[in-house]
């Protein structure tokens, strides 16, 4: 099986992980989304393009399966997947570094999500608890955008930190060949050129 087929299969698996996580969060009415575990996995293993593509396809499929908000928020997922790929791919990721790297991934995507929530949906999301908090905060000095950004920043940070920790810990248990496509590809190229 070629490396490109393996990568596409890996992205498809990552999309499936996003969809399952999203459905679990919706079913249990969790204040976090669990729809970015696959995005983090693809970004960390394959890089920024795979992270962004995973988020986009997962969001579109989730939208087609009934969560219409997922289509619009897939844009912030793409941003988050690209940044995660840039920050984590082929980097040494220690558990303590995950906390500040997650902040780098989360804040731009949270700002974009807050814009989507505020200007397209008036503070309404598919997560009931999140919607309630945003609406309550909109009645304070934060107003709607401030409430949406603060809520998104906190929930996104927790959600993405859980996803990143799950991925990094899981990668330690997975076979090396499954999580290091580029290194294997470079070795095969070097062997061919000899």
**Entry pTM:** 0.88
Class of domain 3-183: mainly alpha
Token pair for residue 83? 């940044």
Q: What is the pLDDT of residues 51-96, one digit of tens each?
A: 999 999 999 999 999 888 899 999 999 999 999 999 999 888 888 9
Q: How far apart are CA 134 and CA 152, in angstroms?
A: 9
Supply angle C-alpha 157, 160, 164, rounded to 5. 130
- In the block, tokens 């399952």 appear at 20
pLDDT given at position 192: 61
pLDDT given at position 190: 59
Helices (H) and strands (E) in the chain, counts: 9, 0
CA 166 vs. chain centroid, Å, equals 12
What's the DSSP call for residue 32? S
pLDDT given at position 15: 98
Rg of the chain over all Cα atoms, to the nearest angstrom:
17
**Regarding predicted confidence, which is higher, 103 or 27?**
103
Q: How far apart are CA 152 and CA 173, in angstroms?
A: 31
Q: What is the pLDDT of residues 128-151, one digit of tens each?
A: 888 899 999 999 999 999 999 999
HSE, CB side, 13 Å, CA atoms: give it for residue 178: 12
In which band, very low, low, confident or very high, does the pLDDT at 163 lie, cut at 50, 70 and 90? very high
Domains in the chain: boundaries: 3-183
Token pair for residue 36? 């970015």
Measured between its terminal Cα atoms, the distance across the chain in Å is 22
């Amino acid at each position: 099986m070629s490396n490109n087929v393996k990568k596409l299969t890996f992205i498809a698996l990552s999309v499936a992980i996003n969809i399952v996580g999203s459905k679990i969060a919706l079913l249990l009415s969790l204040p976090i989304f669990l729809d970015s575990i696959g995005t983090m996995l693809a970004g960390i293993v394959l890089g920024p393009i795979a992270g962004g593509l995973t988020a986009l396809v997962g969001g579109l499929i989730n939208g087609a399966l009934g969560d219409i908000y997922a289509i619009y928020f897939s844009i912030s997922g793409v941003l988050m997947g690209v940044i995660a790929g840039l920050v984590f791919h082929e980097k040494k990721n220690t558990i303590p570094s995950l906390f500040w790297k997650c902040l780098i991934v989360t804040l731009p995507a949270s700002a974009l999500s807050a814009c989507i929530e505020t200007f397209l949906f008036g503070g309404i999301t598919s997560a009931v608890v999140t919607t309630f908090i945003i609406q309550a905060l909109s009645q304070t000095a934060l107003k709607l955008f401030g409430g949406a950004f603060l809520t998104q920043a906190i929930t996104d940070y927790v959600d993405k930190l859980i996803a990143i920790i799950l991925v990094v810990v899981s990668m330690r248990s997975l076979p090396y060949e499954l999580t290091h496509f580029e290194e294997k590809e470079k070795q095969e190229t070097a062997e061919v050129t000899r």
